């Protein structure tokens, strides 16, 4: 469990502060297991610093590692549970380096997608985030906020006389929206991985060099895309509920606070737009996979038709030959050409002429066209 005080500066605190922050807000970030173990202390500190503790049902939601994305609120805080979309640690580099691709790598890549939920509890002066133990979002934003502070200090030290505007999040809700936006944008890396492995499976599916034997990998890929679609739809619903609740907040009278509220709305709508793009990409992958399967069976049908056509033509060519040999094989003493020296060659020429005539006829009617 770590504590960060965000106002004009960004600093880490060793423990819970004694008093609520008069400016800015407190960011408390904890792993799910640590949150469960220290729940009593967290509840007491939230009551002291934020004026209210967590509802029991919301505590159960934050501890549930299988909870879909959703939004809920009380009169003293808002709660958003958001499932992230990212490749598991070490997965992306391993499979992006695999330039040729294999069925096993495709299966492992599509099965190594991390959709763990991250919980956000937004008070006026406190933001509590509950995440998995291996979540890298906290480390990313710690480094990001430190960079923002360094940039702001450089701007303040300029000698041109112009003022600088802090890029640090002005409120706990703003930081939550930024984190959610980063979680949505992390799908961009996952998108390259999914696109590459999906393209590999489709190439193998439509290849005419060998028989496709990776049906298990293809089924897992389709199931993964269905899971991603459901996850994105839950994300979209949760963010939409957050935006609706944000519109119901009373508009502040101060110009600075009103501007911050409007920026928060813009950021929230931007997050929703990014989710829509992710959902659209997942659906395009699903459609592409379904189209590849249909093309595969169409190709199989065409190949079967070609084989049957070839066999039919061969049967039609050899059927007159069987008739000729059957006639000359009759057990009679008086048959044409039976007792002549040229009878055999005449029969062979007759059969060759029949074959040539049938082949020319079939080519003219395009029965032998490829």
Q: What is the pLDDT at residue 164?
A: 45
> What single-letter DSSP state applies at residue 251?
P
The closest of 132, 167, 130 to 149, measured between CA atoms, is: 167
Considering only residues 319 and 81, tell me which one the structure prediction assigns the higher pLDDT: 81
Q: Can you tell me the distance from the alpha carbon of 318 to that of 337, in angstroms, rounded to the nearest whole number?
A: 22
Q: Does the pLDDT of residue 163 top 50, yes or no?
A: no
Asked if 187 and 136 count as a contact pair (C-beta separation under 8 A), the reply is no
Question: 113 has which bridge partners?
Answer: 87
Is residue 322's pLDDT more than 70?
Answer: yes
H helix intervals, the chain = 32-37, 39-50, 56-63, 91-96, 103-111, 137-156, 172-185, 187-206, 215-248, 255-328, 343-364
Of residues 212 and 153, more confidence is placed in 212
H helix or E strand, kind and range, residue 72: strand 70-73
What average pLDDT does the structure give for the chain?
Answer: 81
Question: If you write DSSP's letter for every residue of 102-151 in order, what string do you get?
Answer: -HHHHHHHHH-EE--EEEEEE-SSEEEEEE-TT--HHHHHHHHHHHHHHH
pLDDT recorded at residue 104: 53
- Token pair recorded at residue 98: 């695999």
Matching CATH topology for 2-156+168-207+215-300 and 308-364? Answer: no
Tokens of 20: 């609520």
- Asked whether residue 108 carries a pLDDT value surpassing 90, the answer given is no
| pLDDT band at residue 157 under the 50/70/90 scheme | low
* 54-68, 97-111, 162-176, 352-366: which is most confident: 54-68
Of residues 61 and 9, the one with the higher pLDDT is 61
- In this structure, the chain runs to a length of 370
How many angstroms separate the CA atoms of 22 and 33, rounded?
A: 30
Q: What is the mean pLDDT of residues 75-79?
A: 92
Confidence category of residue 341, pLDDT binned at 50, 70, 90: confident
- What are the boundaries of each domain within the chain? 2-156+168-207+215-300, 308-364
Q: Assign 17 a pLDDT band (cuts: 50, 70, 90).
A: very high
Q: In whole angstroms, give the CA distance from residue 193 to residue 188.
A: 9
- Tell me the two tokens of residue 301: 């049908």
Residue 311 has a pLDDT of 83
Q: Is the pLDDT of residue 101 over 60?
A: no
pLDDT in tens, 128-153: 999 988 777 888 888 888 888 776 56
Q: Which residue has the higher pLDDT, 154 or 326?
A: 326
pLDDT band at 325 (very low <50, low <70, confident <90, very high): confident
Q: What is the pLDDT of residue 94?
A: 43
Q: Which residue is associated with the tokens 């291996």?
A: 134
Give Cβ neighbours of residue 276 (< 8 Å, ≥ 6 apart).
236
DSSP state of 209: S
CATH architecture of 2-156+168-207+215-300: 2-Layer Sandwich (3.30)
Kindly report the CATH class assigned to 308-364. mainly alpha
Query: How many angstroms separate the CA atoms of 236 and 51, rounded?
Result: 30
Q: pLDDT tens digit string along 255-294?
A: 888 888 898 999 999 999 988 988 888 888 888 878 878 8
pLDDT (0 to 100) of residue 138: 81
pLDDT at 92: 46
Contact 356, 314 (CB under 8 A): no
Residue 228: closest CA among 181, 195, 264, 269? 195
> Averaged over 228-242, what is the pLDDT?
90
CA distance 211 to 204: 9
Model-level pTM?
A: 0.74
Please give the share of the chain, as a percent, with pLDDT higher than 70: 86
């Amino acid at each position: 469990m770590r504590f960060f005080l965000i106002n004009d500066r960004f600093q880490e605190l060793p423990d819970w502060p004694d008093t609520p922050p008069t400016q800015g807000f407190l960011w408390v970030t904890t792993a799910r297991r640590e949150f469960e173990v220290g729940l009593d202390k967290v509840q007491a500190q939230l009551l002291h610093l934020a004026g209210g503790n967590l509802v029991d049902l919301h505590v159960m939601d934050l501890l549930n590692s299988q909870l879909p994305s959703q939004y809920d609120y009380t009169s003293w805080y808002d709660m958003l549970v958001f499932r992230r979309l990212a490749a598991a640690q070490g997965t992306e580099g391993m499979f992006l380096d695999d330039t040729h691709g294999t069925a096993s790598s495709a299966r492992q890549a599509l099965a190594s997608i991390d959709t763990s939920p991250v919980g956000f509890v937004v008070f006026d002066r406190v933001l509590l985030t509950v995440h998995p133990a291996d979540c890298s979002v906290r480390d990313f934003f710690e480094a990001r906020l430190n960079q923002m502070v360094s940039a702001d200090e450089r701007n303040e030290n300029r000698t041109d006389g112009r003022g600088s505007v802090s890029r640090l999040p002005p409120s706990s809700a703003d930081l939550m929206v930024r984190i959610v936006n980063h979680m949505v944008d992390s799908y961009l890396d996952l998108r390259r991985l999914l696109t590459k492995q999906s393209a590999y499976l489709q190439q193998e599916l439509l290849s005419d060099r060998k028989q496709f034997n990776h049906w298990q990998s293809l089924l897992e890929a389709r199931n993964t895309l269905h899971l991603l679609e459901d996850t994105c739809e839950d994300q979209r619903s949760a963010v939409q509920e957050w935006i609706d609740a944000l519109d119901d907040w009373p508009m502040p009278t101060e110009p600075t606070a009103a501007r911050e509220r409007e920026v928060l709305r813009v950021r929230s709508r931007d997050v929703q737009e990014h989710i829509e793009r992710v959902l659209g990409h997942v659906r395009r992958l699903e459609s592409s996979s379904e189209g590849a399967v249909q093309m595969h069976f169409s190709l199989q049908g065409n190949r079967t038709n070609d084989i049957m056509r070839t066999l039919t033509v061969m049967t039609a060519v050899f059927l007159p030959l069987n008739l000729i040999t059957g006639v000359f094989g009759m057990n009679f003493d008086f048959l044409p050409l039976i007792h002549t020296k040229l009878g055999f060659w005449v029969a062979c020429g007759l059969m060759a002429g029949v074959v040539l005539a049938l082949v020319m006829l079939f080519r003219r009617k395009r029965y032998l066209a490829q």
